[in-house]
């Protein structure tokens, strides 16, 4: 009778399972505690005939060792599971998250900055909310210049009796140049990337804000030939080694002489197409030699130093590179539009 109970318990112990450590502890108490089923076998063992004690005692000990080993095995299994669970990042999203891409404006902005950085230009930054002094006056804008008109500039505060006290949203990043010239003596070689604002109607070809990268180089004996060579290098690095440039006379208050720069059309190679209006050329930037009045206004001796400046519209370059026909798409945050630039990052 006792032997049958031992064998039955052996079979049950061998198949023991527990859902968690609490259930395992309950099973341990059931089988191995002082009042457990294995301990109860010892009470019956006392009534066994002497000739059977050796055999049955040995089997009870084997059952106890088996139960102890089985419980230890199950406990180690729970510890291993707990250790594995601790390696899981529970803050990680359950579903895969698609990676985004850089905005096309950011892609082109970085490319332009990289090109000028390779030839010694450093980045300068300044405030977007500016005073009239740095946006207009120090850059040789007359008091009645059209750019000061409310139709072109966003004014935050105005003072009709003293325009130098006006506060505006900068209409060009040239204000950064005037701040750098004001506090730094030549040589100066900087580029000024940033967002600018103009009071214009929003259409497919114009917006009330856009991005510029302006450049400034001031040192002794700087000539227009230096400017032309830098712009040719820039155009060929950006659009390809076969790119040609041409400079056309123009006017800007802060440069004299001034010019507009065109590049040979990257679609037709200068032969003429609808994109370049059959001229073979596409305008990309304005440039010129820094007007001596600007140097003097910023505390730089124009009899010793000369320099050149240029300004690139980032949206304009982005349009040329990626053929985006509507400027509004750059600021609408349409994921379908941004997905087109995944390969460009």
Q: Are residues 179 and 142 in the same domain?
A: yes
Residue 327 pLDDT greater than 80, yes or no: yes
What is the model's pLDDT at position 145? 78
Average pLDDT on 176-180 reads 96
CB of 307 within 8 A of CB of 222?
yes
Pairing status of strand 167-169 against strand 245-252:
unpaired
In this prediction, residue 343 carries a pLDDT of 64
Q: Is the pLDDT of residue 86 over 70?
A: no
Residues of the domain holding 268 = 104-344
CA–CA separation, 123 and 262 (whole Å) = 25
Question: Would 12 be classed as within a structural domain?
Answer: yes
Assign 344 a pLDDT band (cuts: 50, 70, 90): low
pLDDT tens by residue, 242-277: 999 999 999 999 999 999 999 998 777 778 777 778
User: Among 63, 79, 89, 75, which Cα is nearest to 6's?
Assistant: 63
Same domain? For 82 and 117 the reply is: no
- Whether residue 125 has pLDDT greater than 80: yes
Domain count, the chain: 2
| Whole-number Å distance between alpha carbons of 344 and 319 | 14
* Phi/psi-derived region of residue 272, left when phi > 0, alpha when psi is between -120 and 50, beta in every other case: left
**Of 190, 218, 197, 196, which Cα lies nearest the Cα of 298?**
218
Considering the entire predicted model, what is its pTM?
Answer: 0.69
127-158: per-residue pLDDT in tens? 999 999 999 999 988 877 787 776 688 989 88
3-class DSSP state of 235: helix
> Which CATH number do you get for residue 108?
3.30.930.10
93: Cβ–Cβ under 8 A, 6 or more apart, which residues? none
- Mutual orientation of helices 104-117 and 224-239 as an angle, nearest 10°? 130
Task: Summarize pLDDT for 30-57 with one digit per residue, the tens.
Answer: 777 777 777 777 767 667 677 776 776 7
Is residue 235 domain-shared with residue 312, that is, in the same domain? yes
Q: In this predicted model, which residue has the larger pLDDT, 83 or 326?
A: 326
Produce one character per residue of 106-125: b if its CB has 16 or more CB atoms within 10 Å, e if not.
ebbbebbeebbeeeebeebe
- Do 81 and 110 belong together in one domain? no
Domain match, 127 and 202 both: yes
**In-domain check, residue 312:** yes
Question: C-alpha distances in angstroms, 128 versus 13, 96, 125, 175, 188?
Answer: 78, 38, 9, 9, 22
Q: Does 79 share its domain with 145?
A: no
Q: What is the pLDDT of residue 214?
A: 96
The listed range with the strongest mean pLDDT (22-36, 41-55, 91-105, 307-321) is 307-321
Distance CA 114, CA 83 (A): 48
Strand ranges across the sheet with 306-313: 122-123, 188-197, 209-219, 306-313, 281-290, 255-264, 245-252
Shared-domain flag, residues 46 and 183: no
pLDDT band at 84 (very low <50, low <70, confident <90, very high): low
pLDDT score of 69: 83
What DSSP string describes 174-227?
A: HHHHHHHHHH-PSPEEEEEEEEEE------SS--SEEEEEEEEEEETT--HHHH
Residue 108 lies in a domain: yes
- What is the token pair recorded at 65? 């060792």
Same domain, 169 and 50: no
């Amino acid at each position: 009778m006792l032997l049958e109970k031992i064998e039955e318990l052996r079979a049950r112990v061998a198949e023991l399972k527990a859902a968690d450590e609490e259930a395992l502890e309950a099973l341990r108490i059931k089988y191995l505690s002082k009042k457990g089923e294995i301990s109860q076998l010892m009470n019956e063992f006392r009534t066994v005939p002497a000739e059977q004690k050796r055999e049955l005692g040995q089997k009870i000990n084997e059952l106890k060792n088996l139960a102890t080993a089985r419980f230890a095995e199950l406990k180690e299994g729970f510890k291993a599971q707990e250790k594995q669970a601790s390696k899981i990042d529970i803050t990680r999203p359950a579903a895969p998250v698609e990676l985004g891409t850089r905005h096309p404006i950011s892609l082109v902005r970085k490319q332009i900055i990289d090109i000028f950085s390779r030839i010694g230009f450093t980045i300068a930054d300044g405030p977007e909310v500016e005073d009239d002094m740095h946006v207009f006056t120090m850059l040789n804008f007359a008091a009645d210049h059209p750019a000061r008109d409310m139709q072109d500039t966003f004014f935050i505060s105005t003072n009709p009796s003293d325009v130098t006290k006006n506060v505006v949203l900068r209409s060009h990043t040239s204000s950064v140049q005037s701040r750098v010239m004001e506090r730094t003596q030549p040589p100066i070689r900087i580029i000024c990337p940033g967002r600018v604002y103009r009071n214009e109607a929003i259409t497919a070809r114009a917006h009330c804000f856009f991005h510029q990268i302006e450049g400034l180089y001031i040192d002794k004996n700087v000539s227009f030939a230096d400017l032309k060579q830098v712009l040719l290098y820039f155009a060929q690095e950006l659009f390809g080694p076969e790119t040609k440039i041409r400079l056309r006379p123009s006017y800007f208050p802060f440069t004299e002489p001034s010019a507009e720069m065109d590049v040979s059309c990257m679609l037709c190679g200068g032969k003429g197409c609808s994109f370049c209006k059959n001229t073979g050329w596409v305008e990309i930037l304005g440039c010129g030699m820094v007007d001596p009045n600007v140097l003097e206004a910023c505390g730089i001796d124009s009899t010793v130093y000369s320099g050149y400046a240029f300004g690139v519209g980032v949206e304009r370059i982005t349009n040329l590179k990626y053929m985006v026909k509507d400027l509004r798409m750059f600021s609408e945050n349409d994921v379908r539009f941004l997905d087109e630039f995944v390969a460009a990052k």
